[in-house]
Amino acid sequence: MKIISDIQELRDHLRGQNRASFVPTMGNLHEGHLSLMRLARQHGDPVVASIFVNRLQFGPNEDFDSYPRTMQADIDKLEKEGVYILFAPTERDLYPQPQEYRVDPPQQLGDILEGEFRPGFFKGVCTVVLKLLSCVQPQVAVFGKKDYQQLMIIRQMAKQFALPVDIVPGETIRAEDGLALSSRNSYLSSAERTEAPELQKVLKEARARVLDLSERNDHALNEIEKVAISTLTRRGWNPDYIAIRQQSDLARPSNESLQTGEGLVILTAAKLGKTRLIDNLEI
C-alpha cells in the first residue's frame, strides 16, 4: 500500500485510474470501516482510503484533540484489506491556506438532529468531503449508514454539485450484543460498555411499536419517541434526540405522508457518561 500525504503526489499516482473507489475515514479503524473497504472493492478498483481527523467538523468543546489516532494499527488493517493507496494528509497538506470557502448544507437537512446539537458539523463534513473527492476523483465513494444523516447530506451535495461520483451506502456493523461499532466506543468505561447496547434495544422496541400501530399518525409517533426517551433517561442516559423521520429527506412525517407508506427511520444520539453515541434503524 502506498501512503501519500501530498495532494499532487496522490494525483500523480492515480492518473489514468478512472474506476477508483474511495472510503474517507478519520482513522481508528474498526470492522465497520473495513466492511466499507470491502464494499468499495466490489464497486471499483483500485481502492483508496483516507485518514484525516478534520478539525472543521469539531465544535470548540468537542473531542478533536482527544480523538483516537492509531495510524500504525490502521495502516496494518488497510494493508490486510488490500487497499492500494492510503491518503493521509496533514492539516497543512489539506488546508495549506485557511479553508475560507465552505460548503453549507441547506438548513432543513444540515441544522436538524445532529446539526442541531453540533452546530456547523455538517458544514465541516461537506467541506472536507468535497475537498477529498476533488483530490481523489473516485468513481465511487462509500459512506456508512451508521452516520445516516451524513450519508444523506453527502448524497444531496454530490447531486446538487453534479459531482461525477456514485455515493454508495454501507450497512452498519454491530458488536454481537448489538452496539454499533464506532471509534468513540473506546471512550466507554467497562460499566458503560455493558449498558451501551441498550441504545439499539430501545430503537428496536420503538420500531416494533411503530410496526404494531393500527394507524400511523404523528401523535402516535410522538408518543413512541417520548417512551423511548424516558426509557433511556431512566437508565441514566442523557438523550439529545430520538426521532422518527422520513427516510427520503429526514423530515418529520406528516399524517398525509404516513398514509402513503413513506419509509421511516428512527434516529438517536444520546450521552452515556461523557460519551455521545449515535445510532439509527430503518423501519
Active site residue ranges: 33
Task: Give the distance, in angstroms, between the CA of residue 178 and the centroid of all CA atoms in the same chain.
Answer: 17
CB of 233 to ligand PAF, least distance (A): 27
CB 156 within 8 A of CB 163: no
Strand partners, 86: 3, 49
Q: Interface with ligand PAF by CB under 6 A: which range of 7-15, 21-29, 195-203, 226-234?
A: 21-29
C-alpha cell at 274: 461523557
| Residue 136 interacts with ligand PAF (CB under 6 A): yes or no | no
Closer to ligand PAF by CB, 27 or 253: give it. 27
CB within 8 Å of 169: residues ≥ 6 apart: 142, 143, 144, 145, 151
**Residue 184 exposure: Cα atoms within 13 Å on the Cβ side:** 18
Closer to ligand PAF by CB, 128 or 202: give it. 128
Number of residues that bind ligand PAF (CB under 6 A): 10
Closer to ligand PAF by CB, 155 or 209: give it. 155
CB of 150 to ligand PAF, least distance (A): 6
Binding mask 87-126 for ligand PAF (x = CB under 6 A): --------------------------------------x-
Q: How far apart are CA 259 and CA 249, in angstroms?
A: 17
Find the radius of gyration of the CA atoms of the chain. Answer: 19
Q: How far apart are CA 238 and CA 256, in angstroms?
A: 32
| Residue 147 interacts with ligand PAF (CB under 6 A): yes or no | yes
| Residue 229 interacts with ligand PAF (CB under 6 A): yes or no | no
Dihedral over Cα of 218, 220, 223, 224: its sign: negative
CB of 11 to ligand PAF, least distance (A): 20
Residue holding cell 503526489?
Answer: 9
Binding mask 24-53 for ligand PAF (x = CB under 6 A): xxx---------------------------
Q: How far apart are CA 130 and CA 281, in angstroms?
A: 27
Q: Rule CB under 6 A: which residues touch ligand PAF?
A: 24-26, 54, 57, 125, 128-129, 147, 150
